Structure 1
Amino acid sequence: MLSIALPKGSSLEQRTLRLFTAAGLEVSRTSERVYRGTIAYDGPLKVAFFKPREIPKVVEDGTFDVGLTGADWIEETGAKVEHVVSFTYSKTTDLPWRVVLAVPVHHAAQTVQDLAPGTRVATEYPNISHRFLHEAGIHAELVPSYGATEGKIPELADAIVDVVETGSALDHNGLRIIETIRTCTPQFIASPRAWSDAARQRTVQGMARLLSAAHHRAADVLLTVRVPARHLDRVARSMPERAWSVGTGLRDEGLVVVQGLAVRDGLAETIDGLLAAGAADVVETEAGVFASMLPKTP
């Protein structure tokens, strides 16, 4: 039976469970407070919930075959895992989150280079923070934090390294960002042992394709654009990256029909850009399922 570790009690939990449900991989458990469950796929799959910071290591050592966690915790723990597929979402948005260095709004520092020697930096990411500050040539004192890091200033720290999505928590606590250290996304990962087994790798790849298709279905819309042939080159430059020319207009051979998958976030600006480039009209529809091949080991 394949086993999977999913995030519990974090910003990733509910968005991840919705993604799995949309992919037809709904987690079955008796209560949201239960830490064990199953997925009716190839077996079924055994599910357990952990803090995101714990997941890279339990996957690395083979306790669990696959897991989903943030890229920040994979880097922080230094876990050696197989990266199968990544997604783009956070707790409240369809965008990545960031690990940032922040200081009080009235602090003199504008960049990391402006921090004085001995600056106290509170963080849940000691390894990421140490590497970042070391590379910047800054000698700082790292203060361990186990949550509510913004509240460590001013008594326990002078600056923080923490996660932000929209930045509103920093604003509410009188802090401002002076450096973005990492941009992070959810990662679907596999243990080296599971990935080296052909049968388990096929199951993992199948799950990854279902999750990827569901993610694209939620994040993208299909744009159908009618373009006068004389404006095709200009409009094509404004089309999303995944775009295809699908033929000419049924009644007007002077029109070319182009389709493409566009990200929902910023969609209005995308459509405005297409019309400004010369498109005759743009129709937005649900994208449906978009699936692609995923890399395989030799």
Structure 2
Amino acid sequence: MQQLKLGIPKGSLEKATISLFQQAGWNITSRSRNYFPFIDDPDISCALVRSQEMAPYVANGTLDLGLTGHDWILETQADVEEICELTYSKSSDQPCRWVLVVPQDSPIQRIEDLEGKTISTELVEFTKRHLVKKGINAKVEFSWGATEAKVVEGLVDAVVEITETGSTIKAHGLRIVCDLLHTETRLIASKTAVNNPVKRKKINQIATLLQASLKARQKVALKMNIPADRLDELVKMLPSLHAPTVSHLFDPKWFALETIVNSKEVRNLIPQLMEAGAEGILEYELRKMV
């Protein structure tokens, strides 16, 4: 088949994206000083592209498929097909936020206070449109980097910056006024590729396995042995997709039980299971969950 041209976001999301693809079943190997990583699938070719430029390249057909933030789709207003949402980042699985940031002692307390002010950001067009919708007349300048420093040094009145937790912003002595946009990674495709049945099938395969990999990150499997006389009690304690898998052991006084639970529940659940008589409890990670 004609190769599917896949864009991998270069920069902060690069390692996280390659890791996600590896979990999904594709090994992508970056090459030193090379913008075309190797992927172990003859039906796919890869290119490293900045997230900010991904949507236009997909829209014009240079790439068939790519991963980029919803923020950059909105910024460029590129005409692409959004295949699915993939919430992951370089350090967490939480959506990022574009926030309005000012110095701690700034008189700006709400977005309406930006009237007549100067703002610096990489997300220029989205910010301009957002202010127009609010009826606010302000100057929005493009920032080539070190955006937070501009407001610290008093070069601008405010900045619109991306953050996950806000901790870096606070560490610089700045204050978040409000959120402008919550964003996450999207798998996007060109409309030409989507209308090609062969490429569409490959796109669906990639989307399914990437989503299955992310879903599996939120779950773990638990196995344990439970006494027969405590079976009903223990089963009621265990959340699962439908019902736990229960099987007889050679000893008729014991059962083996297996279930899938949210990973965040395990730290509380295991002590409770032990108190209820469960033994030999095993926890293991999942690779995919469809």
**TM, length-normalised to structure 1:** 0.79
Q: Aligned in 2, Cα 1:116/1:164: closer, same or farther, shift over 3 Å?
A: closer
Pairing 1:18-167 to 2, within 5 Å after superposition: 18-31=19-32, 33-41=33-41, 43-113=42-112, 115-153=113-151, 154-167=153-166
CA offset at residue 143 of structure 1?
1.6
Distance 1:122 1:274 in 2: 49
What is residue 4 of structure 1 aligned with on the other side?
A: 6
CA offset at residue 3 of structure 1?
0.6
Distance 1:202 1:262 in 2: 31
Percent sequence identity over matched residues?
Answer: 30
Alpha-carbon contact 1:82-1:190 (below 8 Å) kept? yes
The answer to whether the aligner puts 1:290 opposite 2:277 as a matched pair is: no
Q: Aligned in 2, Cα 1:156/1:40: closer, same or farther, shift over 3 Å?
A: same
**C-alpha RMSD over aligned residues:** 3.2
Distance 1:2 1:289 in 2: 24
CA offset at residue 275 of structure 1?
8.1
Distance 1:4 1:49 in 2: 9
SS across alignment from 2:17: helix
The answer to whether the aligner puts 1:15 opposite 2:16 as a matched pair is: yes
CA offset at residue 94 of structure 1?
2.2
CA offset at residue 104 of structure 1?
0.9
Alpha-carbon contact 1:5-1:67 (below 8 Å) kept? yes
Distance 2:159 2:282 in 1: 43
CA offset at residue 155 of structure 1?
3.2
Q: Aligned in 2, Cα 1:232/1:285: closer, same or farther, shift over 3 Å?
A: closer
Q: Aligned in 2, Cα 1:229/1:51: closer, same or farther, shift over 3 Å?
A: same
Amino acid paired to 1:130: K
Distance 2:163 2:176 in 1: 10
What is residue 168 of structure 1 aligned with on the other side?
A: 167
Q: Deviations over 1:122-174 (max 9, x none)?
A: 11111221222223332211121121110111432111111002223212322
Q: In the comparison of the two structures, how many residue pairs are matched?
A: 278
CA offset at residue 212 of structure 1?
2.3
Distance 1:26 1:68 in 2: 16
Q: Aligned in 2, Cα 1:196/1:142: closer, same or farther, shift over 3 Å?
A: same
Distance 2:253 2:68 in 1: 51
Amino acid paired to 2:17: T
Q: Deviations over 1:10-37 (max 9, x none)?
A: 2111111111222221223432x21013
Amino acid paired to 1:87: L
CA offset at residue 198 of structure 1?
0.8
Distance 1:291 1:261 in 2: 12
Distance 1:162 1:16 in 2: 22
In structure 1, runs of 5+ residues without a counterpart are: 293-298
Which stretch shifts more, 66-75 or 123-132?
123-132
SS across alignment from 1:162: strand
CA offset at residue 209 of structure 1?
2.2
In structure 2, runs of 5+ residues without a counterpart are: none
Q: Aligned in 2, Cα 1:291/1:82: closer, same or farther, shift over 3 Å?
A: farther
Q: Deviations over 1:201-229 (max 9, x none)?
A: 11111122222233333443235799985
Distance 1:63 1:38 in 2: 18
Q: Deviations over 1:58-102 (max 9, x none)?
A: 001111110011111111111121222222222222222111111
Amino acid paired to 1:23: A
Alpha-carbon contact 1:104-1:175 (below 8 Å) kept? yes
Amino acid paired to 1:66: L
